[in-house]
Structure 1
Amino acid sequence: MDRSEIDDVDRSTQRMGFFLVPHFSMMALSSVTEPLRAANRMSGRPLYSWHLISVDGEPVSSSSGFSLLPEFAITSSPELSHLFVVASIGVEHYRNAQVFDFLRRYAAMGIALGGISLGTAILARAGLLEGRRCTIHWEALKELGNEFPTLDVTRDLYCIDGDRMTCSGGTAAIDMMLDLIARQHGNQLAAEVADQFIHTRMRTAQESQKMAIQWRYRVEDRRIVNGITLMEQNIERPIPMKTIASLVGISPRQFERMWLKHFNVGPAQFYLELRLKAAQKLLRESTWSLLDIAMQCGFASPSHLGRCYKQFFERTPGQERAASGTP
């Protein structure tokens, strides 16, 4: 909606503001705004309006390269009922005192605040999530917990804790907005909105962010599922294969044979590849040092990471980072 339309909106309309952080996720923004549009259409009433905000009112580029022109700068933002911070990759060093003050002003007025994907981290840095349950994209869960050890960070798809709303991003924003629509205007309207997006099941807040392991890897054996779960949960401090085999209830020899049958590689190599792929993501999407990445992914040193990385990906971590354009 543009500025000329704002004064014409019915006073009962919920005005939703979306503060765009550079490299925000277009998927997340669409997922959080499109249900509002559909709610208006299905109800035949202007239940919601939505307004984009940036630091200076200038265009903001998404992570996919598209630029959007906001209606407002933070110094001229309108009266709102909800304000969401929409962010994605590249916010590990985002510290903007003006933005933090802007968010705190709305919080002081009792406005509901939300974080979409990595927007949760920005709310936390503004001091606006203390004493609240919150969630963030699964790739950033550990980092948020390390940065704010007193926060109650969950692995939930989304969290609504009083006037704080956070979600893991992507299509999880659809589920969070459907929950909000249901609370404000009833389950029937929320179901009609879900149907518009062929969203055949409204997921609950507590559901897992990641696709179930059995679907990702197309395995049904519960012992393999449990083994992969243990590996994924212990990237930073790898645990021995004998320990994993014991925890899933089989001998190391059986464990090895079972893994070779399903994946054509042994469990130790599978585990190493998980850790290398985690390192690859950090090289492409963060500015962490090679030492930090090596430590986060369970390698003894940058040189240890480098040897394994080159053997698997056929290029060095430095070449990976240069190719991705990450500083």
Structure 2
Amino acid sequence: MLTNYFSMIAFSAAIEPLRLANRVARTPLYVWRLFSDDGIGAEASNGVRVSVEGKFAAARGMDAVVVCSGVDVQSIDHRGLVATLQRLDKNGVTLGAVCTGAYVLARAGLLDGYRSTIHWENRAGMQAEFPELDIGQDLFEIDRNRFTCAGGVAAADMMLSLIKRDHGEAISAAVTDQLIHHRIREASERQRIDLRTRLGIADPKLLRVISLMERSIEQPLTITAFAQSVALSNRQLERLFWKHLGYPPSRHYLKIRLEHASQLLRQTRLPILEVAIASGFNSGSYFSQSYVEFFGRSPSAERKLLAG
């Protein structure tokens, strides 16, 4: 099931292991069919258009269905796809998703009571819209008759795990070798590269503080609390930030919270004041002022830009 602006890399990473499994086994272990909203094709986020064999409603006679979506998933009308997924679920079809396809399953009410995951950039928005769901941060989740993954090349790891489960380690290992993938990553491995690599810093105390900052968004901590968490004075922590990042800890913490707010503005319909509160701002005016200073436009202008 391809929505418009689906992720091409997630789509390819999901399909290719199945093709290679057939090749390695010398028998058709898997057969797949593609569907879209208009029944003609779907355009990926990179502009490439993929042809399909029919509309979502034509999907029948399958053991499993995978929803592949991508950017701006929350702004697309998924009514036709949702109805199809709900029908397939009643018929006992296993349901899966790659990248932001998990959002579509959630909108259809088909992740209730299941563990799931989604791309790290979309997790905050999805959790805000569906607070009752158990949305993790793993590469992929396989929970009974549901499977979801973070997207990108994590789709390959999930499919390789499913191939291993269904057809054995020898076939999955041969497919992994064909992909030059070296190993199947565990579901529980992190989505994002570690802070040391992402920020290009190695100081352990600085890394611990930044990690704590990223986990303390809605209820912000004081700079004193961060300094005490690594047995430093405020002045020592300030020096660390200036030395390695070129600005004070308060600036970095504000950056983390504003980037979180930007994700919520782009991915949810939450009122701007609720976005501010969820990002650790008690004042709507201070939030708007900070947002303008950081991004060059107001939160309301951000929303209008996305709507346009």
CA distance in 2 between counterparts of 1:258 and 1:183 reads 48
Q: In 1, are the aligned partners of 2:9 and 2:152 still within 8 Å (CA)?
A: yes
**Matching residue of 1:86:** 68
Number of residue-to-residue matches in the alignment: 308
Q: One-letter code of the match for 1:151?
A: L
Q: In 1, are the aligned partners of 2:125 and 2:267 still within 8 Å (CA)?
A: no
Higher relative contact order (CA 8 A, sep 6+): 2
**Matching residue of 1:150:** 132
Q: In 1, are the aligned partners of 2:57 and 2:80 still within 8 Å (CA)?
A: no
**Matching residue of 1:25:** 7
- For the structure 1 residues 83 and 148, does the alpha-carbon distance in structure 2 shift closer, same or farther, using more than 3 Å as the test? same
CA distance in 2 between counterparts of 1:154 and 1:196 reads 30
State the Cα RMSD in Å: 2.5
| Residue 191 of structure 1, aligned match among 157, 173, 180 | 173
CA distance in 1 between counterparts of 2:7 and 2:165 reads 26
Q: In 2, are the aligned partners of 1:104 and 1:128 still within 8 Å (CA)?
A: yes
TM-score (norm 1): 0.84
Q: Does 1:227 align with 2:187?
A: no
| Residue 38 of structure 2, aligned match among 53, 56, 61 | 56
**Matching residue of 1:11:** none
- Structure 1 portions without partners, runs of 5+: 1-18
CA distance in 1 between counterparts of 2:283 and 2:166 reads 53
Moved more, 157-166 or 188-197: 188-197
**Matching residue of 2:257:** 275
CA distance in 2 between counterparts of 1:196 and 1:295 reads 48
Q: One-letter code of the match for 1:227?
A: V
- For the structure 1 residues 153 and 268, does the alpha-carbon distance in structure 2 shift closer, same or farther, using more than 3 Å as the test? same
Q: Deviations over 1:270-312 (max 9, x none)?
A: 1122233344455566666544543443344554344334434
CA distance in 2 between counterparts of 1:319 and 1:108 reads 42
- For the structure 1 residues 236 and 131, does the alpha-carbon distance in structure 2 shift closer, same or farther, using more than 3 Å as the test? same
**Matching residue of 1:131:** 113
**Matching residue of 1:180:** 162
Q: One-letter code of the match for 1:81?
A: D
- For the structure 1 residues 285 and 326, does the alpha-carbon distance in structure 2 shift closer, same or farther, using more than 3 Å as the test? farther
Shift, 1:181, TM fit: 0.9
TM-score (norm 2): 0.89
CA distance in 1 between counterparts of 2:15 and 2:188 reads 22
Moved more, 64-73 or 175-184: 64-73
CA distance in 2 between counterparts of 1:256 and 1:118 reads 38
CA distance in 1 between counterparts of 2:294 and 2:108 reads 41
Q: Does 1:66 align with 2:48?
A: yes
Moved more, 207-216 or 218-227: 218-227
- For the structure 1 residues 309 and 93, does the alpha-carbon distance in structure 2 shift closer, same or farther, using more than 3 Å as the test? closer
Shift, 1:143, TM fit: 3.0
Q: In 1, are the aligned partners of 2:158 and 2:187 still within 8 Å (CA)?
A: yes
Q: In 1, are the aligned partners of 2:57 and 2:81 still within 8 Å (CA)?
A: no
Q: In 1, are the aligned partners of 2:208 and 2:230 still within 8 Å (CA)?
A: yes
Moved more, 77-86 or 305-314: 305-314
- For the structure 1 residues 131 and 281, does the alpha-carbon distance in structure 2 shift closer, same or farther, using more than 3 Å as the test? closer
CA distance in 2 between counterparts of 1:31 and 1:147 reads 28
- For the structure 1 residues 153 and 281, does the alpha-carbon distance in structure 2 shift closer, same or farther, using more than 3 Å as the test? closer
CA distance in 2 between counterparts of 1:269 and 1:243 reads 16
CA distance in 2 between counterparts of 1:95 and 1:50 reads 24
Counterpart mapping for 1:242-261 below 5 A: 242-261=224-243
Moved more, 26-35 or 189-198: 189-198
**Matching residue of 1:216:** 198
Q: One-letter code of the match for 1:53?
A: F
Q: One-letter code of the match for 2:28?
A: P
| Residue 19 of structure 2, aligned match among 37, 51, 75 | 37
Q: In 2, are the aligned partners of 1:89 and 1:285 still within 8 Å (CA)?
A: no
CA distance in 2 between counterparts of 1:320 and 1:163 reads 38
- For the structure 1 residues 101 and 317, does the alpha-carbon distance in structure 2 shift closer, same or farther, using more than 3 Å as the test? closer
Q: Is the partner of 1:50 in helix, strand or coil?
A: coil
Q: Does 1:200 align with 2:182?
A: yes
Q: Deviations over 1:83-127 (max 9, x none)?
A: 011112223255544322211222222211102122112212222
Q: Is the partner of 2:33 in helix, strand or coil?
A: strand
Q: One-letter code of the match for 2:223?
A: M
- For the structure 1 residues 98 and 316, does the alpha-carbon distance in structure 2 shift closer, same or farther, using more than 3 Å as the test? closer
Identity across the alignment (%): 40
